[in-house]
Each structure stands twice: as C-alpha cells, then as structure tokens.
Amino acid sequence: MFGWLATHVARVCPRAVGADVERRWLRIAPSLLARRLPAAGPLLYLPCAVPTPADAPTGLLAGCRELAPLLYVRRLVAACAVGSDGPHEWLECRARDGRLCARLHLLPDSDYLGWDALLAEGTPVRAERSARRGDERIKAAQLLDFQCLRLAGFEVLDALPTARVSALGGGIARGIARAEGLALSC
C-alpha cells in the first residue's frame, strides 16, 4: 500500500505522458462495489459524461443521478503511479463493454484499510482492451463519503459531500480536478 506523499498530482494523472502507471484488472459486481465503497472513507469521485450502458443491475439504485455511472461498473482497474512528487492511487471504474464510467481517487484522508478491502473483493482478470479514444470525458469532481443503505428491499448507493478534508487532501483533490479541466465541487 502506498502512502500519500504527493503535493502536486498533475504529473501523475492517468493520462500523464512518461508516468509509469501500474494497472491491475478486477471483476466486481455493482452491488458489492456499493457495499464496500463506504469503508474507504472520503474519496475524490470523477464521473464520466458518456452515456451509460443499458445493462442496469437489479436490486441496486443510485441515491442521486451523479452516482448512476457506478451502477454499471463490472471491472475495476486499480492503478498506481509513483512520480517525482510521490505515489498516487486510483480506480478506473469500467462497464462491461470497457467504457470508463468513473474514477475514484484515494486521498490522504481516505481509509487505506477500507480501500484495500474493496480491492480484495474484486476477482483478478486479464487486462482487457485499452480504453477507447474520448472515453475519459469527466463531467465533475466531487469529494464524497459514500453510503450504502437498504430501503424497501433495494440497496441504495448514496453519498454525502465530505464534511472535512485535510489541507493536503484538499490540495491533491484540487490538483486532480485541475488536471481534468474542472473545479472541485464541494
């Protein structure tokens, strides 16, 4: 597990040229992802603007429209990179067809044991085809604390804005959002 030492993340963003990014592919069900996300604590959530596939899971709902891309996740790509400014970890959340649905970034304020438990739930799979051009159109950047609730027989994936984040965590999140051309939403 890498610790957070980074203060500038623009150089280790997922599309960075020259950054040596290690990726590990995992298969995961959306309901399992929803149940494990809350244990990771505050995360930077970057949902994509691309349309979601038609294979919605049964028994799982999104608490708000912004979380809907996570309902279609079938693969996680656990990525990590070490740049001149330190290590950085994130998850590429991909649909069955390989399309990017969202990215989740680990922050200094995140629960590293919860993050590791989430990764341990995934089943390792062979790397799939590379991402298609233009599939990384991120539409927002939010600091969120995820929740998974049971409501009338359904699991509901929901999230609240992170109540408090450290100066280091906030700086890292703003740097990642800036690298995507976005302002961090609170």
Read off φ and ψ for residue 79, nearest 5 degrees.
-120, 145
Q: What is the pLDDT of residue 64?
A: 92
Torsion angle of the four alpha carbons 66, 72, 78, 83, in this order, in degrees rounded to the nearest 10: -40
Enter the tokens of residue 120.
């341990």
Residue 4 lies in a domain: no
Query: Alpha helix (H) ranges present in the chain?
Result: 30-36, 112-121, 167-179
Percentage, residues of the chain above pLDDT 70: 80
The reported pTM is 0.85
What does the alpha-carbon distance between residue 21 and residue 137 come to, in Å, rounded to a whole number?
A: 20
The CA distance from 157 to 150, in Å, is 9
Does any domain span residue 40? yes
Residue 185 falls inside a structural domain: no
Position of tokens 């959340």? 93
3-state secondary structure of 26: strand
Report the alpha-carbon distance of residue 59 to residue 181 in Å, rounded. 35
Backbone conformation region of residue 159, classed left if phi is above 0, alpha if psi is from -120 to 50, else beta = beta
The mean pLDDT value for 131-155 works out to: 83
Mean pLDDT for the stretch of residues 136-154: 91
Q: What is the pLDDT of residues 4-38, one digit of tens each?
A: 333 333 334 545 445 688 999 999 999 999 999 99
Average pLDDT over residues 159-164: 93
> Does the residue 184 lie in any domain?
no
Quick check: is 1 in a domain? no
Residue 2 has pLDDT above 50, yes or no: no
Domain of residue 54, residue span: 10-179
Residue among 119, 120, 25, 27 at smallest CA distance from 74: 27
pLDDT at position 125: 93
Please count the structural domains in the chain: 1
CA distance 167 to 87: 17
